[in-house]
Structure 1
Amino acid sequence: MRRLLGVLLVTSLVALSLGGCATTSAPPQTRSLIVEAGPSTTLEAGVAMLTARGFVIRRADVDLGDVEAVLAARPTLAVRYRLEATEQGTRITLSGQRGGQPVPPYVFDTLLIDVQERLDELP
């Protein structure tokens, strides 16, 4: 009986300690910009910018206007480059995660400036 009670106590402690490991990921934070170029040209500029910076393109869907790229660093940086056609032009939205945590939006400022430069749309 004591042995069974000891096993139950140890099992309960292990379950409690493992329960603290579960985390929920926060929603991604985004940075957006509207450019005059069309979605196809904007997608090409984004892929060129990401590959020039050392990202590996995991998936690029022209029809959906969606690119997923990863930078092999510690911790790994995963970026999502999304496009949406609007009346004003093409909206670029960047978001990402580093080590399973959302990347602050200001990190994407230099990436968006690079895309603007590739599109000859710097202010």
Structure 2
Amino acid sequence: MSRLLGVLLVASFVVLSVGGCATTSAAPQTRTLVVEAEPSTALEAGVAMLTARGFVIRRADVDLGDVEAVLAARPTLEVRYRLEAAEQGTRVTLSGRRGGQPVPPYVFDTLLIDVQERLGELP
């Protein structure tokens, strides 16, 4: 009986130890810009910008206005390029993760400037 109790105590300790390792990851932060271009044109500019910077496009959906790309670096950088129709054009939103952690939004500033340049919309 004492042997069974010992086994149960060890098993419950192992379950509690493993269960304590589970964490929830923080939601990615975003950087947004409104451009005058149509969504399809803004999508083409985004895909061109990402590929020119060495990203591999994993998925690009014109109808949804959504692009997922990855940069094979250490740690891996995953970027999401989303589009929504806005009153005065198209809202471009970038977010991402590096090594499973959210990327700070300022990292996307140069990418958005590149998109503006490709669209001929730099101030």
TM-score range, shorter chain: over 0.9
Q: The residue matched to 1:25 in structure 2 has which SS?
A: coil
Task: Verify: 1:48 aligned to 2:31, yes or no.
Answer: no
Aligned counterpart, 1:70: 70
Are residues 1:33 and 2:36 paired? no
Q: Distance in 2 between matches of 1:54 and 1:113?
A: 17
Alignment of 1:8 with 2:18, yes or no, is no
- In 2, the alpha carbon distance for the partners of 1:11 and 1:41 equals 58
TM-score by length of 2: 0.95
Partner of 1:102: 102
Where 1:5 maps in the other structure, the secondary structure is helix
Distance (Å, rounded) in 1 between the aligned partners of 2:8 and 2:99:
35
The 2-side partners of 1:63 and 1:11 are apart by: 51
Over aligned residues, Cα RMSD in angstroms? 1.0
SS for the counterpart of 1:78 is: strand
In the alignment, what sits opposite 2:92?
92
1:104: Cα distance to partner?
0.9
Confirm or deny that 1:114 pairs with 2:121: no
1: CA distance, partners of 2:33 / 2:68: 18
Shift of 1:2: 2.2
Amino acid at match of 1:79: V
TM-score, L = length of structure 1: 0.95
For residues 32-69 of structure 1, the C-alpha deviation after alignment (integer angstroms, 9 at most, x for no partner) is: 00011111111001001111111110100011111011
Instruction: Provide the rounded CA distance (Å) in 2 between the counterparts of 1:78 and 1:23.
Output: 20
What count of residue pairs does the alignment treat as equivalent? 123
- In structure 2, the gaps of 5 or more residues are none
Q: List runs of 5+ in structure 1 lacking aligned partners.
A: none
